[in-house]
Chains A and B, each alone.
Chain A
């Protein structure tokens, strides 16, 4: 069964902390791994990763993929209360036609 697993499912930190969110996948004909941020509405796209070892960075957020070990991490440095959200990881597989999402990590950043 094609699946994506995320950990932790829930995380509470204080402003300024650095967090690492984990995503592992097991899919057929992997094509890409995607990270999304979801606040009180629809998910918004953060990163797409297709190659191992190449870090993608956007401000305080960064992500990297390991295709050998089948996982990805999302790092957020110097967290802010506005980072509070559910972070979703998804894999695009089967030559691009299928997506499978993980359950998400709920991050709460306290002032």
Chain B
């Protein structure tokens, strides 16, 4: 079974703090994604990576950056957290059959 883990299930940060969300997968998948999910807006793609050190902007990259130094790890960075970044953050990987596998999610609250 594919396993996708995220570093925290719940996180509370203050406005202006730098926030790191980490995602680790154990299936050697090349493609990894970061989404945020908000009520009424569904899942929106922030960034994705199709290989180590490669990244592409998704639909809403503003205020975020990513890092993919190793194939199994994809990090999402909020350089200076703001209250409008309070959300559920989901990491996912893409297998060879178009199936996306999601991590458990990190619920981030920025106060």
A positions within 8 Å CB-CB of B: 31-32, 34, 41-45, 48, 50, 88, 90, 92, 96-104
Other-chain residue from B41, B94, B97, B105 in contact with A42 (beta carbon distance below 8 A) = B105
A42, B37: Cα distance in complex, Å: 10
Other-chain residue from A45, A50, A97, A104 in contact with B101 (beta carbon distance below 8 A) = A45
A32, B98: Cα distance in complex, Å: 8
Residues of B within 8 A of A100 (CB): 45
Minimal Cβ-Cβ distance residue in A for B98 = A32
Q: Tell me, rounded to whole Å, the shortest Cβ–Cβ distance linking A28 to chain B.
A: 14
Query: Can you show 17 pairs from A to B with CB atoms below 8 A apart?
Result: A31-B98, A34-B98, A34-B99, A34-B100, A42-B102, A42-B103, A42-B105, A43-B43, A43-B102, A45-B101, A48-B97, A90-B43, A90-B100, A97-B31, A99-B33, A99-B100, A101-B43
Residues of A within 8 A of B40 (CB): 103
Please tell me if the beta carbons of B99 and A88 are within 8 angstroms of each other in the complex.
Answer: no
Please tell me if the beta carbons of A103 and B42 are within 8 angstroms of each other in the complex.
Answer: yes
Dominant secondary structure of chain B at its interface with chain A: strand
Minimal Cβ-Cβ distance residue in A for B101 = A45
A48, B98: Cα distance in complex, Å: 8
Q: Tell me, rounded to whole Å, the shortest Cβ–Cβ distance linking A25 to chain B.
A: 13
B48 CB–A CB distance under 8 Å: yes
B104 CB–A CB distance under 8 Å: yes
Q: Tell me, rounded to whole Å, the shortest Cβ–Cβ distance linking A77 to chain B.
A: 24
Which 7 pairs of residues, A with B, have the shortest CB-CB distance? Answer: A42-B102, A101-B43, A103-B42, A32-B98, A101-B42, A42-B105, A45-B99
Please tell me if the beta carbons of B104 and A41 are within 8 angstroms of each other in the complex.
Answer: yes
Residues of A within 8 A of B56 (CB): 97
Please tell me if the beta carbons of A88 and B98 are within 8 angstroms of each other in the complex.
Answer: no
Residues 65 to 111 of chain B near chain A (Cβ within 8 Å): 90, 94, 97-105
Known: A99-B33, A103-B40, A103-B41. 9 other contacts (CB 8 A): A41-B104, A42-B102, A42-B105, A43-B90, A44-B102, A92-B98, A96-B98, A97-B31, A102-B42
